[in-house]
Amino acid sequence: MKTRIYSSVFSVCIVAVMAFSASIFVGCKSSENASRNEPAAKQAKRVVIIGLDGLSVDGYKTAKHPNLDKLMADGVISFTTRTVMPSVTLPNWTSHLTGSGPEQHGVDGNGWTLDKHALPAIEIDSDGYYPSVFKILKDNMANMKTAYYYNWGNLIKPINQKYLDEVSFQEDDKYLENYNKALNFAKQNRQNPTLIFLYSVHTDHAGHKHKWMSPEYITAIEDADKAIGRLIEDFKSEGLYRDAHFLLITDHGGRGNGHGGMSPVEMNVPWAVTGPGIKKGAVLEEPNNNTNTAAVILRLFGFSENPKAWVGEVPESIFE
């Protein structure tokens, strides 16, 4: 009789352990994925990254930009966001789009290439690239659409282009056609979750040629504001604005005719985010860093965790 009882108890325990083990296995499978989180039910419809190279805090505060002012009324802006070191272009834009610093992605200067660099990335995909926000989204959201518009040739080198649905490069600091392409891409994919990266280097080049805070540099910012204003109005007229988040980001400030040092005017930059669920007309007081941008994008699209290799965090105070 005891043998039967022990046998029955043993069988029940085995079943319970197997069920418990299965639940652990499911959880581990989710956490080990590059995405480790499937998007939550509440997620952004479209995110547009507006990147202006070399946009300093003083430049932003000095220039007249009524269109950005209207956009920022729907969001949060920071004037104390810290760049990664060195305060130069390629390491910082790579950090924005990979949620990591040069210590992780290995991009330490503007001359970096996939085949020639000093520090190997701590993690790479099957093609040798450090995982970008485009890869994470494309790997985990079946209908995700991504676009990359730029006008400085080296910019795209650290990004694996197989995770981009549309890429457009303009020469000679031109950028207006890319703004038009970004609008058309959003229209064509209005039913899909969409990430658009829209970048221009003309502001940085104005600083290098004429000095940061020169009249020409300020004009370059104001010209960008006009293009941004047209883009926003077009988004509104096409019914794309209400469900859109916009990020305004940059890589560094500047002093004299250059940048790359550790002075506050080079290392502290504007950073902003607007859209559904974001506080309205607020200034971000929480510490922030260029590595946080990709983490914010993942959160907007419903992810609750970042890839393990990333170091960026979400500044929680941006949310309502």
- How sure is the predictor about 34, in pLDDT bands with cuts at 50, 70 and 90? very low
pLDDT computed for residue 41 by the predictor: 45
pLDDT in tens, 248-302: 999 999 999 999 999 999 999 999 999 999 999 999 999 999 999 999 999 999 9
pLDDT in tens, 153-162: 999 999 999 9
Percent of the chain at pLDDT above 70? 87
pLDDT computed for residue 6 by the predictor: 36
pLDDT in tens, 106-132: 999 999 999 999 999 999 999 999 999
What span, in angstroms and rounded, lies between the C-alpha atoms of 77 and 223?
Answer: 20
pLDDT computed for residue 47 by the predictor: 98
What span, in angstroms and rounded, lies between the C-alpha atoms of 73 and 87?
Answer: 29
**Partners of residue 103 on adjacent β-strands:** none
Contact 75, 223 (CB under 8 A): no
For the cut 60, the answer to whether the pLDDT of residue 140 exceeds it is: yes
Tell me the C-alpha to C-alpha distance, in Å, between residue 102 and each of 34, 58, 165, 258.
20, 26, 26, 21
Q: For 172-194, what is the mean pLDDT?
A: 98
Predicted structure pTM score: 0.87
pLDDT in tens, 12-22: 333 333 343 33
pLDDT in tens, 48-82: 999 999 999 999 999 999 999 999 999 999 999 99
